[in-house]
């Protein structure tokens, strides 16, 4: 097959260039790319791939740092599967096409006077990409984006459209329990129904704090705030904390100038320059870190949820994140700090710490346990292996579960030990995709074959 053929509004074409993820660390060359305009077209593309003996993967905006979406077969691009299908104000749910970017969903919901309860700190991903890999924010009581799903529609390896929820028959409930964070291993998600609520206001309080204070008061800060997170700047004793709590208002968004200074100039523009300098001259990184950690000042503002939860992220990086039992977070973070201080490593990016309540999704990083997340980053193009290996050693010693879309070296043997419901997920995969139509190298490593 060559050139482009069109069947209805969607299209199929020979892939004439490699696919790359956002960070640029993953590349793959599919045989062909398909851009379906409906669930029916997507199902036909899956059936045709199976007939041709080609594997199938779907790619969103490429924000995963692992090769979870890479394929040498058929690459599904869901750019035409976007928009809200329906809003049900009686059940307080919204059904959205799988390729819809979170930003577009958040803006559309706000226009309707609605909001998700919680979300991550960026909104560039598609809804299916974000949920399938377990994207999360921080929350004492409210969990990941996937935990807010009430119904899923997906195309199975047989090319059939399956709708599942916790109100269906036994098989549908089993699929729902796993497919909310399905890693692309159980089928291609075509639509997601989320629980929503009337839009509300959040007051954000950002405040510098010392490392010793934030770690000693971590449990109290978590208990006293609906959403608490902090960043520690390696090579310093400085942290920046953020507390988000519901507010009666009035709205008081950041001033145009102060907001631009914090979110664009300091967090993106000058940070980009600092990271570039640090990559070229690593010995200057500790000095830059001390300056950077002191540049962010305390501020308080009140706005609608997505404008408080999310921030622009224009500096490209690589990331590893581990989910630990919440009670292990402070010890692990102190070990991480001690490791950096005794090593020759020069780390330009802050370390991010967030939390989540336990949930009931089979392969959620918060499945069955209250969780704290520790995320480490390095600027794109910086050698990362030594730092990430040292961090991973600390995290796995505490029973850590790596984020499915972020760099790690764990395999199926490890996951079978730290996920009590791992066998439940792989047994479901055997039923839904016995011939591994949706497999790739990453899934073979983390799920087994």
pLDDT at 262 over 90: no
- pLDDT, residue 5, reads 47
Residue among 343, 395, 372, 350 at smallest CA distance from 232:
350
Helices (H), 78-136: 102-111, 127-132
pLDDT band at 261 (very low <50, low <70, confident <90, very high): very low
Tell whether the model's pLDDT for residue 183 goes beyond 90: yes
- pLDDT-derived band at 260 (thresholds 50, 70, 90) equals very low
| Strands of 216-370, DSSP E | 227-232, 238-247, 299-303, 317-325, 351-356
**DSSP 8-state code for residue 96:** E
What is the mean pLDDT of the segment spanning 378-384?
94
Domain 84-198 has CATH 3.30.465.10: yes
Question: Quick one: pLDDT band at residue 4, thresholds 50, 70, 90?
Answer: very low
Phi, psi dihedral angles at 85 (to 5 degrees)? -80, -45
In the structure encoding, which two tokens stand for residue 266, read together?
């300091």
Q: Which fold has domain 201-303+315-402?
A: Vanillyl-alcohol Oxidase; Chain A, domain 3 (3.40.462)
pLDDT of 294 higher than 90: no
pLDDT confidence of residue 8 = 52
Q: List the CATH code of the domain at 4-76.
A: 3.30.43.10
Using the structure block, give the residue that is written with the tokens 């988000």.
244
Break the chain down into helix, strand, coil percent, rounded to 5: 35, 25, 40
- The pLDDT of residue 320 is above 80: yes
Span 15-60, pLDDT tens digits: 878 999 999 999 999 999 999 999 999 999 999 999 999 999 999 9
Q: What average pLDDT does the segment 137-155 reach?
A: 98
Domain map of the chain by residue range?
4-76, 84-198, 201-303+315-402
- pLDDT at residue number 258: 55
Query: CB within 8 A of 182, min separation 6: which ones?
Result: 132, 154, 189, 363
Region of poorest pLDDT, from 11-20, 192-201, 362-371: 11-20
Strand bridging mode 32-35 / 188-195: unpaired
């Amino acid at each position: 097959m060559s050139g482009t053929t069109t069947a209805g509004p969607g299209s199929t074409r020979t892939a004439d260039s490699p696919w790359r993820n956002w960070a640029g660390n993953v590349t793959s060359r599919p045989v062909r790319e398909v851009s379906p305009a409906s669930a029916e077209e997507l199902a036909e593309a899956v059936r045709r791939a199976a007939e041709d003996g080609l594997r199938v993967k779907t790619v969103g905006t490429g924000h995963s740092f692992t090769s979870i979406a890479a394929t040498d077969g058929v690459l599904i691009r869901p750019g035409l599967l976007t928009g809200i299908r329906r809003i049900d104000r009686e059940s307080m749910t919204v059904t959205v096409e799988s390729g819809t970017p979170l930003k577009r969903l958040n803006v559309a919901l706000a226009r309707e006077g609605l909001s998700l309860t919680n979300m991550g700190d960026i909104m560039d991903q598609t809804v299916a990409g974000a949920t399938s890999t377990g994207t999360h924010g921080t929350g004492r009581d409210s969990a990941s984006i996937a935990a807010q799903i009430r119904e899923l529609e997906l195309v199975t390896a047989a090319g059939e459209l399956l709708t599942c929820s916790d109100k269906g028959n036994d098989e549908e409930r089993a699929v729902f329990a796993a497919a909310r964070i399905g890693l692309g291993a159980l089928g291609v998600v075509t639509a997601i129904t989320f629980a929503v609520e009337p839009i509300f206001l959040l007051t954000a309080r950002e405040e510098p704090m010392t490392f010793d204070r934030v770690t000693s008061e971590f449990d109290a800060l978590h208990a006293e705030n609906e959403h608490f997170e902090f960043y520690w700047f390696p090579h310093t004793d400085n942290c920046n904390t953020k507390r988000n709590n519901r507010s009666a208002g009035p709205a008081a968004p950041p001033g145009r100038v102060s907001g631009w200074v914090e979110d664009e100039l300091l967090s993106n523009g000058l940070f980009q320059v600092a990271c570039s300098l640090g990559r070229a001259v690593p010995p200057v990184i500790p000095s830059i870190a001390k300056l950077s950690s002191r540049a962010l000042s305390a501020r308080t503002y009140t706005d609608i949820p997505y404008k408080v939860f999310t921030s622009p992220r224009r500096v490209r990086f690589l990331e590893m994140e581990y989910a630990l039992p919440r009670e292990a977070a402070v010890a692990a973070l102190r070990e991480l700090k001690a490791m950096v201080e005794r090593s020759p490593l020069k780390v330009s990016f802050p370390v991010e710490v967030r939390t989540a309540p336990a949930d009931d999704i089979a392969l959620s990083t918060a499945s069955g346990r209250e969780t704290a997340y520790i995320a480490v980053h390095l600027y794109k193009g910086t050698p990362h292996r030594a730092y990430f290996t040292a961090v991973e050693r600390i995290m796995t010693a505490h029973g850590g579960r790596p984020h499915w879309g972020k760099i790690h070296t764990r395999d199926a043997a490890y996951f079978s030990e730290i996920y009590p419901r791992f066998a439940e997920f792989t047994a479901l995969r055997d039923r839904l995709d016995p011939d591994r139509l949706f497999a790739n190298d990453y899934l073979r490593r983390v799920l087994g074959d």
